[in-house]
Structure 1
């Protein structure tokens, strides 16, 4: 026997489904129960759509919000227990609303923001809206927002920072006040080529300290004071050819020493990894 869900007037989105729910709880799994369950869901869909409408103009299409609200309605119907004595509407409204809020929290934020911070943002946003209606034209201060929202100034600052985390600008977006097409991507930094020089300098320092003083001086004059070989030879009383051989020999020695030190370091890391692996393998065998 097919059961028709009765509606109450004048609110068409709040039907009288008490009898249908009582009958639903007594039916076993099967086609008859599925049909009655679907009738109840269809009867309450207008209410779910009305709740979804409260969240329009927040960056999500209304049709998508209605689908989320319908999902919340299905969960409410499946979880509702008429024996608890409360009306279905009082159970369904917070369930549907919570489902929509979860959708915004999980799918609409550009950046991942903890739920606590999201709650602070919502309270701060509501406080600013209230203050805007009574303000004299100036933006409310952090202290005023905190007092209005009933939170500390530190929490208000956190909520205010989260106001800009819901959406993000494209890297191709022109920066405010920039008249020359300057975009966010133009403000991004890139790899610093000097980092490789830092690594090279640090790697040759040990070998550099071991060089004789004369070779150290020659290298300093050539590579730090940018002096020519002829000028270095004149200052030190050497021939230009001798200075050239000394520079070449020092550079070769420094390079070979740096490569040798790197090889020793890599081998030490490899040996330690093998020891750690063997120790872990032994612990696994002992535990077994």
Structure 2
């Protein structure tokens, strides 16, 4: 071992001495003489460049190619060497190593990854081989990180990016018979593409629904809220929520299947600020209050105000509340009608509820207003 160290030291010293001698002799040499001196020093240093190249063998690159790259780095080191700046050998090691690493980074990676990750990937590969020899097993990423004094996430990133060094070809045979290629097994028909038109259509139709219905649909299908939770937040019954959701979905389904928009059987839509229309007419000895739209928590007070004003102006005439265009009455609406019945009784006027649709009629019947319906 001492003899080998002496031999290696003597070689390095010989290279440094040869480089200094070259720099001295080339200073006053002519063009042909300079080229001859350069070639002579290059021949002396070629074995050194070969040893540098062999340090990087076994990393997926041909040794002959690495030797060519190392020799190119050697020539660059000879051309740029300045004796006043230190040892030629040290400078040549840095130049040749940099040239080989640049070769790995720019010419051998199949997928582009950042330079920092490429350099670290080479160091991780070398450390992994050394630790495998020392530990007689494959080292863990944490052991590699400790060996290189870098963070564990950086090592994991380098190990993952190493797959980009030599990616598999999509044209590689996928089976033993060679009939199929690897690329044939990847990808397929994207079923979501067929839904793009439907999603765009639904998005436009949702904007045509009343604001409350849009909010309920968003809470139910985007917020994963239960009908009971929606009812609590909106201050209506769970049954009312169920009916509104069913009607909204039925309208969307019909609108999706037809070229023309179906009629919305409820509030007039997002342009109606109240969701209900009321008209008061007098004639034939009665005052008629025509109601169109839902009578619920949001609209009940407006109807109450109109009915009370109508009762106060009866002057012996009867009061008719026309419910033919009312698709739904909730508890708040029933309370308004009961209040109207009480007010009409005090005013000694006859109150009649007309045109109630079957569902509304059932609600009014169980609420004690059966006698007022006609």
Is TM more than 0.5 here?
yes
Q: What is the alpha-carbon distance in structure 2 between the residues aligned to residue 150 and residue 25 of structure 1?
A: 45
Q: Is the 8 A contact 1:48 1:96 kept in 2?
A: yes
The structure in which a higher percent of residues are strand is 2
- Structure 1 position 116, deviation (Å): 1.7
1:1-288 matched pairs, under 5 angstroms: 11=11, 14=15, 16-27=18-29, 30-84=31-85, 86-135=86-135, 139-173=138-172, 184-190=182-188, 192=190, 194-195=192-193, 197-199=195-197, 202=200, 206=204, 220=253, 250=259
Q: What is the alpha-carbon distance in structure 1 between the residues aligned to residue 162 and residue 35 of structure 2?
A: 44
C-alpha spacing 1:159/1:67, structure 2 compared with 1 (3 Å): same
C-alpha spacing 1:39/1:97, structure 2 compared with 1 (3 Å): same
C-alpha spacing 1:208/1:129, structure 2 compared with 1 (3 Å): closer
1:243 corresponds to: none
Structure with the larger RCO, 1 or 2 (CA within 8 Å, 6+ apart)? 1
Q: What is the alpha-carbon distance in structure 2 between the residues aligned to residue 217 and residue 201 of structure 1?
A: 16
With the length of structure 2 as denominator, give the TM-score of the two structures.
0.46
2:265 corresponds to: none
**Deviation string for 1:11-63 (max 9, x for gaps)?**
499473432221213346x3332332233223322322232233233222222
Q: What is the alpha-carbon distance in structure 2 between the residues aligned to residue 57 and residue 127 of structure 1?
A: 13
C-alpha spacing 1:179/1:60, structure 2 compared with 1 (3 Å): closer
- Structure 1 position 123, deviation (Å): 3.4
Q: Is the 8 A contact 2:141 2:152 kept in 1?
A: yes
Q: What is the alpha-carbon distance in structure 1 between the residues aligned to residue 146 and residue 38 of structure 2?
A: 47
C-alpha spacing 1:46/1:141, structure 2 compared with 1 (3 Å): closer
Q: What is the alpha-carbon distance in structure 2 between the residues aligned to residue 157 and residue 96 of structure 1?
A: 28
Q: What is the alpha-carbon distance in structure 1 between the residues aligned to residue 146 and residue 51 of structure 2?
A: 33
Tell me how many residue pairs correspond in the alignment. 213
- Structure 1 position 104, deviation (Å): 0.9
The structure in which a higher percent of residues are helix is 1
C-alpha spacing 1:41/1:198, structure 2 compared with 1 (3 Å): same
C-alpha spacing 1:135/1:162, structure 2 compared with 1 (3 Å): same
* Structure 1 stretch displaced more, 57-66 or 140-149: 140-149
Q: What is the alpha-carbon distance in structure 2 between the residues aligned to residue 87 and residue 208 of structure 1?
A: 78
C-alpha spacing 1:205/1:167, structure 2 compared with 1 (3 Å): closer
Q: Which has the larger radius of gyration?
A: 2
- Structure 1 position 200, deviation (Å): 6.2
C-alpha spacing 1:71/1:141, structure 2 compared with 1 (3 Å): closer
C-alpha spacing 1:135/1:19, structure 2 compared with 1 (3 Å): closer
With the length of structure 1 as denominator, give the TM-score of the two structures.
0.58
